[in-house]
Amino acid sequence: MPAAKSAQVTPSGSTGDGGWPCRGEVVLGRPAADVAPFAGDGIVEELGPDRCRLVLGAWSWVGLAATLGRFDAGVEVVGPPELRDAFARLSRRFAHAARPR
């Protein structure tokens, strides 16, 4: 396995030290090169040609889950459990929104 590559991107909304109130870690089914330009102040680590690890923060767990959803990729939550719960909450909201009226 090749050595992991990572990139720290300049903060653009946190307290300057990545000090978001909610920080989570996921593995995305998308190349690091596709994710890094849109990761804001997140940390992107290449895990292979089609996978990367992303550590990112937001003002709320649901906000973080929604932000991660914009990468249009498979998501594996590494942690914390609050992020997993936020994805479950969003999935219920989106399932409701998808129902025919």
pLDDT tens for the chain, 101 residues: list them.
444 444 443 344 444 556 899 999 999 999 999 999 999 999 999 999 999 999 999 999 999 999 999 999 999 999 999 999 999 999 999 999 999 99
| Cα gap 16→33, rounded to integer Å | 24
| Cα gap 67→40, rounded to integer Å | 11
Give 55's contacts (C-beta < 8 A, 6+ positions apart): 23, 24, 25, 42, 43
pLDDT of residue 3: 44
Q: pTM here?
A: 0.81
pLDDT of residue 19: 86
Domains of the chain: 6-11+22-98 (3.30.70)
Whether 25 and 53 have beta carbons less than 8 Å apart is answered as yes
